[in-house]
Structure 1
């Protein structure tokens, strides 16, 4: 006897699954092309880069662009500064936005409406409107040309969106779970630690990833607030490969940009496992 499910499975288009895989493959190639082009350019010789007849793939692999880029732009120092700023900003934003998001969702007060309005309003203003008063303020308190000043600016700028992200994760947790914990005799802190935090793991990971990548790649604030070469971040170091007359040292720039992508990719790969673990933990706890 043929069931409706069997009939629908038989009547399904046999080309639908291959077309789906083909569309996915095309999309992946579209996303991967800039990275592959960057990789190819980084290994080309200066002669190949100047030649109009050069193909997409390099004729011979050379590490000259990488060594020149590291020596010229002092990428080690710049990468260390960027890593310090990004990690510190991520920790501050996560530690501040986590309890704030929980309080905004669980406690219905007048402050909640004000905070929500501040979150939405802060996302409207472009950088250019605040950069001059921001620079004057940071100069008056002595935080220009310091990584601490950059961390403060990044944290304040990333906090509203991170808080907005975490609000959605907190709101998705049923309040009945916390009430059940209270009935079982668990206090507020134990309920938060044993029930809420495991369920919030995906949100914490997503917020940390967003904050880290934005802090790692940010250029405009660093360009205005940092003039000391020893304090420059990685995006500022990459800008050195563009000359005053618009001449770009393409090979060295591609090599430096490729090296700059590695920490973000590694951080994403490491945190992706924790994101999956957090999702599974939340499903079991719920």
Structure 2
């Protein structure tokens, strides 16, 4: 087999594998949407409905009509927003310090970041609960935000460190030779090139804070302080059969802000990733 047919076979195989991965990734989303548009009687049958042949919007009406939806939505937006801004700010400073400066405890700091990520969050729930209780921060937006920041910060620093390392120091030095100060060279040259990294890590922090369930369940125990994942869990009750059609409708509603956030930032992320540092 010559090189050209071999490349053609390889291309077909890779394209087929890519299609399989895409279908496997999108099918759960499609099934969630499909189930949310079916009545409960159709969902409970043993015969699967591959498309919404008994189309209904009653599930969305029931989910949107829940009185606690707005409160849970505002709580989730507040916690996620605080987590996103504070985590990116601290992670940005930490990544710059680790990548651009040499100090005595630099290696120990990098190792600590990796070790912290290995600790399961379930092992720290009791300690976090007692700590927040002692600070009178249970059932507060600030208390839950502090925990989320601590959870997402190590991975955010590690991810941003890779982006900072990818920007050559020579660019800053060239700008300083042209008359920029160190701070001016950083903010005018390096920072715009780090925008894709900030957006990528911001997407990760947003999704993790938005979807987190276990910590919110333990820390936010009052009905008026629950977030959207806890609100979603309220549709699953032990005293009666779960209405999975309504659960899927509520899950779809919960996913909308994440999709909107990604659509807003994805253009900046992709354009920044393909832009060059200098013009030819």
The two structures have a TM-score, normalised by structure 1, of: 0.91
Q: Deviations over 1:233-286 (max 9, x none)?
A: 110011111112583220110000011111111211221101112123344479
- The aligned residue for residue 152 of structure 2 is 158
2:140 aligns with one of 136, 141, 146? 146
1:242 aligns with one of 236, 241, 246? 236
Q: Deviations over 1:47-88 (max 9, x none)?
A: 212222352222221111111122236322212211121121
> CA shift at 1:43, angstroms?
0.6
- Cα distance in 1 for partners of 2:113, 2:279 equals 30
- Cα distance in 1 for partners of 2:157, 2:79 equals 20
- Residues 285 and 100 (structure 1), Cα distance of their counterparts in 2 relative to 1, 3 Å cut: farther
- Cα distance in 2 for partners of 1:60, 1:11 equals 48
- The aligned residue for residue 227 of structure 2 is 233
State the Cα RMSD in Å.
2.0
- The aligned residue for residue 19 of structure 2 is 25
- Residues 54 and 130 (structure 1), Cα distance of their counterparts in 2 relative to 1, 3 Å cut: closer
- The aligned residue for residue 259 of structure 1 is 253
- Cα distance in 2 for partners of 1:246, 1:188 equals 65
Question: Does the 8 Å CA contact 1:73/1:237 hold for their aligned counterparts?
Answer: no
- Cα distance in 2 for partners of 1:11, 1:133 equals 61
1:212 aligns with one of 206, 209, 212? 206
Question: Does the 8 Å CA contact 1:138/1:149 hold for their aligned counterparts?
Answer: yes
Question: Does the 8 Å CA contact 2:203/2:262 hold for their aligned counterparts?
Answer: yes
- The aligned residue for residue 4 of structure 1 is none
Structure 1 portions without partners, runs of 5+: 1-6
- Cα distance in 2 for partners of 1:73, 1:43 equals 21
Please show how residues 20-59 of structure 1 align to structure 2 within 5 Å: 20-59=14-53
- Residues 73 and 118 (structure 1), Cα distance of their counterparts in 2 relative to 1, 3 Å cut: farther
1:181 aligns with one of 175, 181, 185? 175
1:268 aligns with one of 259, 262, 269? 262
- Residues 8 and 284 (structure 1), Cα distance of their counterparts in 2 relative to 1, 3 Å cut: farther
Q: Deviations over 1:29-59 (max 9, x none)?
A: 1111101110111011122122223522222
- Cα distance in 2 for partners of 1:207, 1:76 equals 27
Partner of 1:142, secondary structure, is coil
